Amino acid sequence: MFRLPPINLYIHIPWCTKKCGYCDFYSYVNKNIIPEEKYIKSLLKDLEKDLKLTNQRKINNIFIGGGTPSLLHHNSIKNLIYGIKKRAKISKYAEISIESNPNSIEYKRFRQYKKHGINRFSLGIQTFNSYLLKKIERTYNKKEAIEAIKEIKKINKNFNIDIMYGLPNQSLKHVLSDLKNAVKYNPTHISWYQFTIEPNTPFYTRKIKLENENIIFKMFHQGDKFLKKSGYIKYEISSYMKLNYQCKHNLNYWNFGDYIGIGCGAHGKITKTNGDIIRTIKNKNINDFINGKYLHSKKLVLEKDKPFEYFMNAFRLYKPIYKKHFQEYTNISLDSIKKNINKAIKKKYILENVNSWETTKKGKFFLNELLTIFLN
């Protein structure tokens, strides 16, 4: 019944020119020259160690995130991609994505990135409103955002635009204007998600207020309706695509696939041939990482925690969850979650079919409550 899931590669580039007040992703503010060459060499050595855990599985897709990966010189991207292909089996159909910001110094590198194998770009626009961009401490304006999109369209069809709603002082009119601007440039994918303020961020410390929940719901309802009318298919809670343009790397997360995580603070999930699932976290200290101390922690996912970890991802998707898939990727029986499933059905969070489960509209709306049913 058990089988090894597909595996991807995530690469974390930890530098930013400025730390945004709401951001809780792991990153360093760069005030000096980035030690690119040393970091790339360390990434490849980190990869070599993790590949030993993967049973020589082929890597299906690669995602370079951050931080701000587009701060790297194109030769660094070239050396990184070449080094990965030299060490690992990579699918010839691999989607190789890079996150980028629309600052002019960064988007001028896109053409060179494409030459070195990048075939999908993800632009962190967030909003086209220059006033709101300043409020959330982004380092570009509307004009630069549009120029970056135009530059990408010249060189690559497949690209994503990140947009947020519920920003401080943002109106419903602003939200719909952002989406109209995004759709105007016909991206193959739009990530549209709610602005949140996480603990341990400057905005949290400064007690920046979020919009009223009723206003947020109106923004979501009308924005969701607009995107669907504009020809985008919603396949995940905050992801909209043109036909066949899902983000393959993120889809692998949500389908409970494996992924090697390399770089400062990167997380990984690797399933062993005996069915054990290993979670890895890499060292967050850049100096330690460059000096060869890659691994921060490695732990075994306990059997009792596997259902929660599986459904935490799968319930985000707008498609049936097949029982066979659950068994194959968790290596545990359906009987062990029968009580949890029945409770979720009783609360009308999910529907059960002979071979699958489906999340209801209520289940999607109360996703956290649904997940707590499977939490030990």
Identify which of 340, 319, 164, 349 has the alpha carbon closest to the alpha carbon of residue 254.
319
How do beta strands 7-13 and 258-262 pair?
A: parallel
- CB-CB neighbours of 355 under 10 Å: 10
As a whole number of angstroms, the distance between CA 243 and CA 40 comes to 35
Mean pLDDT of 185-202: 93
pLDDT tens profile 28-47: 676 567 899 999 999 999 99
As a whole number of angstroms, the distance between CA 376 and CA 371 comes to 10
3-state DSSP assignment of residue 23: coil
The predicted structure's pLDDT at residue 49: 97
The predicted structure's pLDDT at residue 31: 57
268 φ/ψ angles, rounded to the nearest 5 degrees? -140, 160
- In this prediction, residue 26 has a pLDDT band, given cuts at 50, 70 and 90, of low
Joined tokens for residue 206: 């400064």
Name the least confident of 9-18, 85-94, 299-308: 9-18
As a whole number of angstroms, the distance between CA 150 and CA 364 comes to 35
For the cut 60, the answer to whether the pLDDT of residue 210 exceeds it is: yes
Mean pLDDT of 329-340: 96
- For the chain, the C-alpha Rg in angstroms (whole number) is 21
As a whole number of angstroms, the distance between CA 281 and CA 264 comes to 9
Mean pLDDT of 352-362: 96
Mean pLDDT of 64-80: 94
What contacts 179, CB < 8 A, 6 or more positions away? 163, 190, 192, 223, 226, 227, 230
- Strand order, beta sheet including 267-271: 233-236, 239-241, 189-194, 159-165, 120-126, 96-100, 59-66, 7-13, 258-262, 267-271, 277-282, 295-300
- Looking at the chain, the whole-number percentage of residues with pLDDT higher than 70 is 98
**pTM for the full model?**
0.95
Tell me how far CA of residue 201 lies from CA of 23, 165, 195, 353, in angstroms. 6, 19, 13, 43
Domains assigned to the chain: 7-252 (3.20.20.70), 320-376 (no CATH)
For the cut 90, the answer to whether the pLDDT of residue 117 exceeds it is: yes
3-state DSSP assignment of residue 289: helix
The predicted structure's pLDDT at residue 324: 97
The predicted structure's pLDDT at residue 178: 98
Regarding predicted confidence, which is higher, 92 or 19?
92
The predicted structure's pLDDT at residue 51: 97
**Alpha helix (H) residue ranges in the chain:** 36-51, 74-87, 104-107, 110-115, 130-135, 142-155, 172-184, 202-205, 213-229, 248-254, 286-290, 306-314, 323-330, 338-346, 361-365, 367-372
Mean pLDDT of 331-347: 97
For the cut 70, the answer to whether the pLDDT of residue 104 exceeds it is: no
Question: Cα 288–290–294 angle (5° rounding)?
Answer: 65
Residue 112 contacts residue 152 (beta carbons within 8 Å): no
For the cut 80, the answer to whether the pLDDT of residue 279 exceeds it is: yes
Tell me how far CA of residue 68 lies from CA of 29, 48, 109, in angstroms. 10, 24, 13
Mean pLDDT of 18-26: 75
Residue 258 contacts residue 271 (beta carbons within 8 Å): yes
The predicted structure's pLDDT at residue 25: 72
What contacts 354, CB < 8 A, 6 or more positions away? none
The per-type count for the chain, helices as H runs and strands as E runs, is 16, 17
The predicted structure's pLDDT at residue 105: 66
